[in-house]
Chain A
């Protein structure tokens, strides 16, 4: 196993985490004076508001400490949130390292070279430990730089301690993911079990944090152990014992995963279902959907579409339920007015528009990027070659792909719209159903804009498509978020696809932006068709 191959196998997680960690930390620390104000009084007022807001959000994040400082705000908004993201990264990376690589036959190949199972697992764990340390260190460095830009340098020792705790949490979750993945036989089952474990541990910590009496079980949560450190905030502390315990959890879980790996058969889990005595099947599937263009792809990916739809619906509900609290926070924090982009109208509606639609745009963009990733994978896995072995024109494959994505985005966006329409009146938020319908419909060209760029990249250079498209997405999002704060010129704002979408829930449709998106869709997919027709498949 060469480090290069391992880097390749983990590349999507690494790229995503590097982008996310560095930019999220940098933005939340460097932009602190713009958010909180530049005078000490303004920052204290801001800190007070954040403390009030933090109490409401204590089920999600630990209570803020000195949020009137860039470092304190970074601790709350950055590292508090990172616990969830880095833990999920650890679990999913481990599940992929075990189940996905086994499905691909890589594990069997490696073992056939004489590498022992324990050594294989140890090598993967060591590799992940090294690269995750690098990502955590880069994130910490970005935080230090951000605080420096904000004019209030963070304590280096505190950042190092907090980074160590974050690294330990990531490794603990990687170890737990390795262990869970040994028990079941499929990636999806492993990812589901790992997610359930994370949610359980998060809830144990969350309930303990939000209620008066901490339950006896909350101490076993890795999130509880991580949250014992809050060393970035002024006056916070680093808990070496809790951090050490996280390392121990990771080591023990990895060792247990090793023992399970040695005992189980390759290609199956330690917990095996009893064999089914099913009769052999010799007929083709009678499912009519598999014969219908577009419907066949939607059927094959029905579980993923359902998960995206449910996720978006739940997020829409959460946003509606939190709008009132957030409105209070904004009302008491004048320095946050740039976030409202000068939009007139009821602050609740404006916040719903800004928060929900930016979440919806981000989710739809991520869906588009993962879809493009699948298109690229279809090329290397031979699926595209098999599709083209049938009498299908290459442009037909492209049209079917785009239509599938359109249907998926339509379903998930309109389900979320229905959730908002159902919940908003009860929360006293006025929503214009017509405008919400338009805003939801505009998510379709928005998604297709990303997909068109991705299709062009996948049709031209499938191996770099995801990396380049992710970069476009991240930069686009940053321009969208930072433009109003830093008062960038309008033309710079309009470079962002997110900006082209506009704010259709509270302002008229941005016709120029819509035309630009449609132009990108037409040119992108048209060029993608030409590129796909000209290039060699899977070469």
Chain B
């Protein structure tokens, strides 16, 4: 499989340890890649480097084999872009913004614009300044998707969208994925990434913390277990059990986390009277947070 995006040692140093440092990452063609991280982690900096809006301090980035900096114009022919914050188009109507930017690209697929704006329930007849935050985001999505690009680079694409339109967005991503489009989207909402992506990269403090498939992410999952006993609490046996961590005892109640299978825990509990047992799967958000605690 060929690579859509390749970053080697990509660095943008703003000083005082701010920026992006030594990012090595590849995104395969046709892949939907989620780029996760909290605010200020370096997601937008990475995206703006890919778009050639800012210049790297070191390293390189290519899109479909084209250098993002040197071949920036050719790169953009292949890319649909949603910035983190849409430009202020003032009194222009949505329809005019679409034609204005589409004209710069050399052509507009009117049917596609119509389809997108109808599915996102966006009235293009209104002036940009009258749009709510969500409607501005919808306009940004129309602009990114309207020319059926080979690669979509989307910076926090569901910000401001209501749940119904978020669902529409997920459907759109699913559809373009089927047609072979590569998607690189940044987010700090793991559920969104879980819904749409096949691989995620987690960035923190300008450095890539992890790069894994969603299957791997699911493997990393653990369960939070609470057990209540009617008699003695087998704390020592539970602590010694395989895959069990964070054991805490409060009276007749024991809490712990279980990684992998439950065999070790169940063996430790055998012979003791269990009156209640609850196992909770932590959200991806909790998993995400656990990365940042490291």
Q: Which residues does chain A contribute within 8 Å of B87, judged by CB atoms?
A: 381-383, 385-386
A291 to B110, CA, bound (A): 13
Of B86, B125, B143, the residue contacting A278 (CB under 8 A) is: B125
Is A114 among interface residues, defined by CB-CB distance under 8 A? no
A300 to B2, CA, bound (A): 42
Of A280, A381, A389, the residue contacting B51 (CB under 8 A) is: A389
By the criterion CB–CB under 8 Å, are A282 and B105 in contact?
no
**In chain A, residues 367-419, which have Cβ atoms closer than 8 Å to a Cβ of chain B?**
381-383, 385-393
A285 to B52, CA, bound (A): 29
What mask results when residues 103 to 146 of chain A are scored 1 for a CB within 8 Å of chain B, else 0?
11000000000000000000000000000000000000000000
What mask results when residues 65 to 84 of chain B are scored 1 for a CB within 8 Å of chain A, else 0?
00000001110110101010
**Given A282-B117, A283-B114, A300 and B100 contact (CB-CB distance below 8 Å):** yes
**Given A281-B124, A291-B102, A382 and B88 contact (CB-CB distance below 8 Å):** yes
Q: Which residues does chain B contribute within 8 Å of A104, judged by CB atoms?
A: 88
**Given A281-B125, A290-B99, A382-B88, A388 and B113 contact (CB-CB distance below 8 Å):** no
By the criterion CB–CB under 8 Å, are B113 and A283 in contact?
yes
A539 to B18, CA, bound (A): 13
What mask results when residues 284 to 306 of chain A are scored 1 for a CB within 8 Å of chain B, else 0?
11110011100010001000000
Q: Which residues does chain A contribute within 8 Å of B95, judged by CB atoms?
A: 281, 283-285
Q: Which residues does chain A contribute within 8 Å of B83, judged by CB atoms?
A: 382, 385-386, 389
Q: Using a Cβ–Cβ cut-off of 8 Å, how many residues does chain B contribute to the interface with A? A: 47
Closest chain B residue, CB of each to CB of A378: B87
What mask results when residues 528 to 539 of chain A are scored 1 for a CB within 8 Å of chain B, else 0?
000000111111
Closest chain A residue, CB of each to CB of B90: A103
Chain B CB within 10 Å — which of A291, A390, A536 has the most? A390
Q: Which residues does chain A contribute within 8 Å of B192, judged by CB atoms?
A: none
A382 to B108, CA, bound (A): 22
Q: Which residues does chain A contribute within 8 Å of B125, judged by CB atoms?
A: 278-281
Is B53 among interface residues, defined by CB-CB distance under 8 A? yes
**Given A282-B124, A536-B53, A538-B53, A291 and B103 contact (CB-CB distance below 8 Å):** yes
Q: Which residues does chain A contribute within 8 Å of B122, judged by CB atoms?
A: 282
Q: Which residues does chain A contribute within 8 Å of B117, judged by CB atoms?
A: 282
**Given A284-B108, A291-B99, A536 and B113 contact (CB-CB distance below 8 Å):** no
Closest chain B residue, CB of each to CB of A377: B88
Is A186 among interface residues, defined by CB-CB distance under 8 A? yes
**Given A283-B113, A285-B93, A390 and B101 contact (CB-CB distance below 8 Å):** yes
Q: How many A-B residue pairs have CB under 8 A?
A: 116
Closest chain A residue, CB of each to CB of B80: A389
Q: Which residues does chain A contribute within 8 Å of B85, judged by CB atoms?
A: 382
Give, as a whole number of angstroms, the nearest-CB distance from A116 to chain B. 25
By the criterion CB–CB under 8 Å, are A281 and B123 in contact?
yes
Q: Which residues does chain B contribute within 8 Å of A536, judged by CB atoms?
A: 48, 53-55
Of A284, A382, A387, the residue contacting B86 (CB under 8 A) is: A382
A535 to B166, CA, bound (A): 35
A144 to B129, CA, bound (A): 47
**In chain B, residues 107-149, which have Cβ atoms closer than 8 Å to a Cβ of chain A?**
108, 110, 113-114, 117-118, 122-125, 129, 143
**In chain A, residues 414-461, which have Cβ atoms closer than 8 Å to a Cβ of chain B?**
none
Of A283, A383, A388, A534, the residue contacting B88 (CB under 8 A) is: A383
Q: Which residues does chain B contribute within 8 Å of A386, judged by CB atoms?
A: 83, 86-87, 101, 143
Give, as a whole number of angstroms, the nearest-CB distance from A394 to chain B. 8
**Given A383-B89, A392-B104, A282 and B74 contact (CB-CB distance below 8 Å):** no
Extra contacts besides A285-B96, A389-B81 (13): CB < 8 Å = A280-B123, A282-B113, A282-B123, A284-B99, A284-B113, A287-B99, A300-B100, A383-B89, A386-B101, A386-B143, A388-B53, A392-B73, A393-B72
A-B contact list, 18 entries, CB within 8 Å: A282-B118, A283-B110, A283-B113, A284-B124, A285-B93, A285-B99, A290-B96, A292-B103, A383-B89, A386-B101, A388-B53, A389-B79, A389-B81, A390-B104, A390-B105, A391-B74, A536-B53, A537-B53
Nearest 8 CB-CB pairs, A to B? A281-B125, A291-B103, A382-B87, A536-B54, A390-B104, A285-B95, A285-B99, A284-B98
Chain A residues close to B by CB (< 8 Å) = 103-104, 186, 188, 278-287, 290-292, 296, 300, 381-383, 385-393, 534-539
